[in-house]
Structure 1
């Protein structure tokens, strides 16, 4: 097995966090909201005049507030990505120091030797059962051509499972090191005001509110659902989850699936329907959506009328517009008391933000 240097492990984990989502577009991680992209200049007040021009001899002015309002969603996205990059950069830098210290403590020659001992040497060869399971799921989900054989794709499945296991081992190691070191970060969090409107679970008035923007056809959103459920269970009574819709343009079935979930909400079955959709992402056509409603015991006639009328489409569009205003360009996107978190990240990343928020409220 090839050697996996510490810096590459940390870079890979950060990269996974940034890419573990369905994205509408890619954007550079730079910002012009609190500081300019060039050199950290302070943001001018909203009424600062940034341009003048003349119309029929009369001088016209453009203020900084008008400009940022015009740029709106793209600017919010840049700010969100900048904050995420700074946060992940800090975590990677601290982890690098903790791994170096742990290697020295154990008498190892360098940090790469620790990575080899704790990650590479502990990752077993995927079993035939695991390989077959992935193959059957990919075939059944239509991700592989029907004539492809297991032997043809087995090397890629082994590579995928091995890399996944490496990431899990690395995450466990880093979590343990941070816990032992009693890591505390004091990086100021940029908070984004997001309306907590929509289907919700958890008590009103909970100290933590998570607003999620999601897409029922996005595989990363389905994966993130497990992390969200773990968080709700771990912080029962302390977290309120609000679900908002952000169907992406290249997911053809996602908008109607979003409408269908709201039709299910009319019959107090939103979360049951929500789970059904994420468990059946290959079955999201209108006929499938109606069948899911029947399977869950909804009033079929009432559900079908709601779905066919398209009367929930405006609610979905409202969610999308609100998401764009706060910089959402991909799914899943979370705002934990206004702190942005993007992608299908492990539950530990939610817990890190939540624990910090709860400490502030004591």
Structure 2
């Protein structure tokens, strides 16, 4: 008698093989197209900015991209970063490689001996600074994680030393680069948003943020660093973009505007307190932050209960969507978009360029 399990297995294998062959046949050349495709002819554009022509209507690049400008910009930025990474590698291979060859050493050995100069040590202060900046809970750090962090910091230090050496080598003979860093300029109106800094500052930063977003909390720390670094040279305006999955973010946004109604300085104090306590955004906690900020609690509660700024927050969100905001935090530095909780150096590079521009 045939084993029923073997019979079932045999049937399963045959069935699976049949299905696989069927799919293979479907994906192979059969001479028949499953669906028809539009007919495209690639030509040189009749004039700059035109990417296609449908009938007699010319389609511009702006029409093609539509509201997905940010997605296209991110692709362009990624392409630029990849090219720069490759260029830096080629630069190291050619310049340091030539020095290593002259010294009769393999390149890595030359870097370790002549550029790095021995073992790279990470101080306890450097380690703690990294852990604090990356918000890594001490409870999650075991010996293996600590070793990885130290290895990362050592590699980073080594890279910094190599870059410093290349900078020295190219100081009198700069590398000519024939591709430019992409820029995305968006006209952004700060409107009546709470702000700090110079009212008529040369550089305006408009931030779209969410009080319950952990990355926004990190960005808030960077914003405070910018405040210390640039003072009235910049204007930083805060717009609300509470995300749907953060249930307490929108009430916190409305509450913050009730504090702002009393004083912008109090708004920023409230702003900092909320971002330091993103897990405590219930009504009682928000009232507590308002009190700590120096706001009149009675007026604050009346404002919150009346949902006085519900429409205001909604308009911020709609405006953000209109200009391409899809995530938080998103910043516009004189119209140049910066997404995510990026380091202060990223902001400083753009701010300094804008301050130096005529």
Measured against the shorter chain, the TM-score band is 0.5 to 0.7
Q: Aligned in 2, Cα 1:205/1:267: closer, same or farther, shift over 3 Å? A: same
Q: 2:188 aligned with 1:200, yes or no?
A: no
Question: Bigger CA drift: 342-351 or 78-87?
Answer: 78-87
Alignment of 1:102-117 (within 5 A): 103-104=96-97, 107=100, 109-110=106-107, 114=111
| Unpaired runs of at least 5, structure 1 | 1-37, 53-61, 141-149
- Superposition pairs for residues 1-362 of structure 1, below 5 Å? 43-44=49-50, 50=54, 64=59, 68=63, 72-73=66-67, 75-100=68-93, 103-104=96-97, 107=100, 109-110=106-107, 114=111, 122=120, 124=122, 154-155=142-143, 157-158=145-146, 161-162=149-150, 165=153, 169=157, 172-173=160-161, 176=164, 180=168, 181=170, 186-197=180-191, 198-268=193-263, 269-361=266-358
Preserved contact between residue 222 and residue 344 of structure 2 (Cα < 8 Å): yes
In 1, Cα distance between the equivalents of 2:281 and 2:345?
A: 31
- Following the alignment from structure 2 to structure 1, what is the Cα–Cα distance between the partners of residues 322 and 69? 7
Deviations 1:202-245 (A, max 9, x none): 11221111111111111111112232232333233321111111
Q: Structure 1 stretch 183-192 or stretch 331-340: which is displaced more?
A: 183-192
Moved more, 110-119 or 100-109: 110-119
C-alpha deviations, 1:67-120, integer Å up to 9, x for none? Answer: 949x854x1332332343244334423433454466447636336984998699
The 3-state SS of whatever aligns with 2:275 is helix
Distance 1:157 1:99, change over 3 A: same
Kindly indicate whether the alpha-carbon contact (under 8 Å) linking 2:211 and 2:249 is maintained by their aligned counterparts in 1.
Answer: yes
TM-aligned CA distance change 1:233 to 1:156, over 3 Å:
same
Larger Rg: 2
Q: Report how far residue 276 of structure 1 moved.
A: 0.9
| Pair 124,138 (structure 1): closer, same or farther in 2 beyond 3 Å | closer
What displacement does 1:266 show? 0.7
Equivalents in 1 of 2:208, 2:112: separation in Å? 36
Q: How many residues align?
A: 296
Conserved in 2, the CA contact under 8 Å of 1:83 and 1:190?
A: no
Distance 1:158 1:39 in 2: 57
- Once residues 288 and 106 of structure 2 are traced to their aligned partners in structure 1, the CA distance between those partners, rounded to angstroms, is 61
Deviation at 1:161, TM superposition (A): 3.9
CA contact (8 A) 1:200 1:243 kept: yes
Say which is worse superposed, 324-333 or 223-232, in terms of deviation: 223-232
C-alpha distance 209-63 of structure 1, shift in aligned 2 (>3 A): same
SS of 1:92's equivalent in the other structure is helix
Change (3 A) 1:169 1:138: closer
The answer on whether the counterparts of 1:125 and 1:162 sit within 8 Å (CA) in structure 2 is no
Q: 1:303 to 1:359 in 2, by over 3 A?
A: same
Unaligned stretches of 5+ residues in structure 2: 1-41
The CA RMSD over aligned residues, in Å, is 4.1
Rate the CA distance shift 1:345–1:156 in 2: closer, same or farther, 3 A: farther
Relative contact order (C-alpha < 8 Å, sep 6+): which is higher? 1
Contact 1:104 1:110 in 2 (8 A): yes
**TM-score if structure 2 supplies the norm length?**
0.67
Q: Secondary structure at the match of 2:356?
A: helix
Maintained 8 Å contact 1:263/1:306? yes
- CA separation in 1, counterparts of 2:117 and 2:308? 52
- Measured in 1, the distance between the counterparts of 2:53 and 2:212 equals 45
Cα distance, 1:322 vs. partner? 1.6
Note if contact 1:99-1:111 (Cα within 8 Å) is conserved in structure 2: no
